[in-house]
Structure 1
Amino acid sequence: MTEAAAHITEKRITVGEGPAGREIAILHRAAQKKTGLAFVWLGGYRSDMSGTKAVELDALAGELGIAAIRFDYSGHGISGGAFRDGTISRWLEEALAVLDDIKPKRVILVGSSMGGWIALRLVQELKKRKKAPQIDGIVLIAPAPDFTAELIEPNLTDAERRSLAERGYFEEPSEYSSEPNIYTRDLIEDGRRNRVLTGIIETGCPVTILQGMKDRDVPYQHALKLVEFLPADDVVLTLVRDGDHRLSRPQDIEKLRAAASALIMHD
């Protein structure tokens, strides 16, 4: 075990009760400095906490001496639960449960793709609580808030609509896996209830957005639209002209590291 890995603890918590209960896997890097600050990684649809960006963020936390929290949503990675049961509300509940378990005092949320949506909903939910970690900053990578309503529903084919009505889901080929992407009726209906692009989003902290202009999954215009709903915040949008959706190349990782580090400097 390397010295860096020695500071990481794997644990599992149960979220939900009865048939809705599922085991969520967490990797928690302990802080080496008494700042109370932690990076919180919020992954994308069908991604997991062992991905390149998640691992690089954890490594950066180790270099800076702060804590890092990664976890897999239910139906993802090594967590329990069925992927087809997943909804934004369900995965948001798990993110809140992870924070309740680890209890960081201050956090910088780093959300990738769908994780950007989860991050913005997490901010809204934490603001309702009397006791919650302070949000020092947010980094959004190819953010996909409201993607079910904004990017999927308007582009459904007749065949996909029929599949949703008759089978409760539809499939589409995935660019990143041999297994198709699955979108359920529950996910889409729940997505409508979790929309954030409906009014001003008050995060109360600096927000940095990294967006590839060759992103075929989440067009860069979606990031531009998001900025319009963040008028009260210190927002920095970086458009990567040749960047794709993953933004996992070495030069992209450097932008992520710089953005996350800058939020600590800002604080």
Structure 2
Amino acid sequence: MPQNFPAVQGGGSLILAWQIKNKRVLVVGGGEVAAGRILNVLNADAKVTVVSPREGLNDEVAYRVAESQVDYVDRKFEPSDLDNVDMVLTAVDDPEASTQIWKLCKERNIAANIADVPPECDFYFGSVHRDGPLQIMVSTNGNGPKLASIVRKQIAGNLPENIGAAIQKVGMLRRKLRKVAPATEEGPKRMQWMSGVCESWSLDDLVAMEEKDMEELLGFYPLGEFPSLERIRLGDGFQEYAFDGSFGWF
């Protein structure tokens, strides 16, 4: 029987938040494209090694090297550079050399991105908007990087200015909630309660929320209520439950 399920579109990429903290990333090249790749993986707390002749470094990459933000090898790529590497990014003006690096990566099962050669990429770099913990990526699946940048700017222009700060406060509240209600069986209730807070509070109130407000608000978790910031600060309705500052209520 026909079902009202989403249609499969196909032709897309699986967009994921790839956690590469402390992973070893090799960047081959030192020009403008390499500079962007390097910043992307440094922002994700990766351990980065750059292989490129010094004369091929642009100002930004040279700065990263001088500041010891990356490890640096002053020469062209050699196959041994792939030893103990988790990811490879190439950005060199040599299609033949790039293809050779791609083939070596495939032999070693290393995820690789060959700049401007979509068929030789295990993953693509999208255009990313960053505001604190918030990251929004727009991908054209290798069809139009510049257009991805234009779309990303339009999206970013419509976001509230304080969305990043609001997300940081929500993260703090969520971590505190897990401490006072750590049981596994509390999971669905925690999620439902946090959703209620996010849906009922304005972004301005989330940004304005202080730690003492969070502790007061947590007192309403057993009731399944999420009163406004104004009510929290007035103390209205906080008689039945009170958070004692540790792992319970009295």
> How high is the TM-score relative to the length of structure 2?
0.30
Is the strand fraction higher in 1 or 2? 1
Q: Which has the higher contact order (CA 8 A, sep 6+)?
A: 1
**Larger Rg belongs to:** 2
Normalised TM-score (structure 1): 0.29
